Structure 1
């Protein structure tokens, strides 16, 4: 009887061991699948540019900068960067400073020697001219860029299963109605939400706020456990709609050494006023505020 019990016990252990082994193999395959999809997406997103870049040692937690460009591309047109956001990241201070530059800001377009709207730099010379122009405008080095196709908002929002935002202004765009308060948006709604500016009392600043809300919503949803089942769709949407000069190794080092800074994001605002020059509308930056912004960024970067 005892021998029979031992035999049954060994059989139970063997069966249990096989189950755990299968679970381990299954989880391992799942993790590998996520990693493989991520690396493929990053390889698709990686678009190096012919431009000198500072040598930054991420292990030493050195501050760096990122230029985010939201590009509205049209058929037969290179497009313009309707969203221009500059971020400086300082992990030693555990902080990120973020500035949305109004797209109509009048400044020198580096490489053309003319003054024009800052978002025209992309139309004239792509990412490189945009980086050079913003670099001179703020008098700080621009290390990396992240470019998103504005149409990609729709794909990415749908990939994470929609986003929630706290809408500060009730408005209607076409067939979409956006009441005030917390609302949930699908991809098409999110695209309409971020594009509206003409009926906003804050104009471009109001639109910039909504764009940041959607980006934050995507990040929050993408980081949730529930989104793990959608990782293929998410990575596919990112690969199709986002490009950057960051390598996969750089992304891993930033995630490892700088992630605590993401919890403290300061939204900066630059003052100015709108005017027409030669019949064209421009946003003219207040000189004193312009100097203040440049000084804040330099202090944050330690330069």
Structure 2
């Protein structure tokens, strides 16, 4: 009985303690919610005009490039997208050393002489699609060195379009290159603003694939990053994104940009992030130029809040590096056969237009180019994957020119050219992996198989099952052999 009374008293004390803890936590919850509301209120207070972040006025002709259709509708007071929306996003850069009357500056700080203007060359270009029908986001990276036709300029690198004619000419050039894809709005941000935005977000966790060190005093460009998983602040994130001094040049930089965006998407919204909203908005206000309206901004924010950003598709305009003898300058030569198929699948370009470029190659295994990429430092694992695909009818399988820098737990099937049908087929035939749509694999492939640790586990189970089967067959053979020996001998006599 005394033990029972003691247990009752203990239970009563715990109940009272829990009630006190709830009472103490409740003010914290209320304070947190109040703080979030205040933060959001402070952010929205900055947006008082229909287009609060537009810094450059557009002429009537320029406005016509984007159209004036309303992209949103209100549902219970919350703006929502009414159809898929394509937005051209550009990161621009102008160095003060490139401006008229520039004077020499002492080298030292990273990008210390970046001018805040948005009218420079576009260092990064992405066409981003927000699709409420599929609840997906697709980003198409456009190499800055892509050789295209620009009105009033002729053939040049596509990054010159913004410098020559601003956002409208850049949008028109991109639309022409992609076969008249509609571009509804634009966003321009300068490189300094991107750095400040990363700082306002609290930095970003990124795996730096190798030692990155580079110095260019003429551009005041200083890059100094160590290999490994790191928490990058704004300056270091820009260093990571702008590094291009490797075998892939600007294409390697695009791959790092996609990796950085993926890392940002994977960072979850938390109370600390929400508390930074007023600072984030101030950064946007200073460094962004966009013709998105207030309603459209809110609709995009609501769309992003309910979308799985980690599954966003990251594509790149397919092509090749120009040969030294082709042009005086180095270009990215757009693949006019592969690009329409990519845009048709991901941006609703009519398939007839894609077919007009030529026959679309069959997606049977013997035509699919598959690169095998190791992330776990196990050459035998890549050899086994190569052999398995060969046995499944894949004739164009090869080892990727470089290994993946970060060990993966789960094997990835990378749709390098954005063809998810090919990637799914390879995944089924391989019997493992998750399909990822991005352009971070081998440039020479249609699909890159990035071997993870789960592949080794699968092979172990397969080998174990095969061994068990062999042992079972051996037992059956021994039993059968023993029976024959007991009933028959070589000279024909029974025992």
1:295 aligns with 2:301: no
CA distances 1:228-269 after superposition (whole Å, capped 9, x unpaired) = 333332222222122211112112223335654453311123
- 1:178 positional shift: 2.8
CA distances 1:260-296 after superposition (whole Å, capped 9, x unpaired) = 4453311123322222554111111122112222322
Other-structure match for 1:231: 277
- 1:68 positional shift: 0.7
Structure 2 unaligned blocks of 5 or more? 1-22, 74-80, 101-118, 216-221, 353-495
Between 1:96-105 and 1:275-284, the stretch displaced more is 275-284
More strand by share: 1
Correspondent of 1:202 among 224, 232, 248: 248
Correspondent of 1:273 among 315, 320, 325: 320
CA spacing shift, 1:228–1:260, aligned 2, 3 Å = closer
CA distances 1:146-169 after superposition (whole Å, capped 9, x unpaired) = 111112222112222221112233
Correspondent of 1:58 among 61, 69, 72: 72
- 1:29 positional shift: 7.4
CA spacing shift, 1:68–1:286, aligned 2, 3 Å = same
Other-structure match for 1:284: 333
1:123 aligns with 2:163: yes
- 1:197 positional shift: 0.5
Correspondent of 2:127 among 86, 90, 96: 86
RMSD value over aligned CA atoms? 3.1
Other-structure match for 1:3: none
Structure exhibiting the larger radius of gyration computed from Cα positions: 2
Correspondent of 1:70 among 91, 107, 110: 91
CA spacing shift, 1:153–1:113, aligned 2, 3 Å = closer
- 1:179 positional shift: 3.4
1:164 aligns with 2:205: yes
| Whole-angstrom distance in 1 between the partners of 2:260 and 2:163 | 25
- 1:302 positional shift: 10
Other-structure match for 2:116: none
| Whole-angstrom distance in 2 between the partners of 1:190 and 1:168 | 13
Aligned length: 281
TM-score (norm 2): 0.51
Structure 1 unaligned blocks of 5 or more? 1-15
CA spacing shift, 1:295–1:230, aligned 2, 3 Å = closer
CA spacing shift, 1:223–1:240, aligned 2, 3 Å = farther
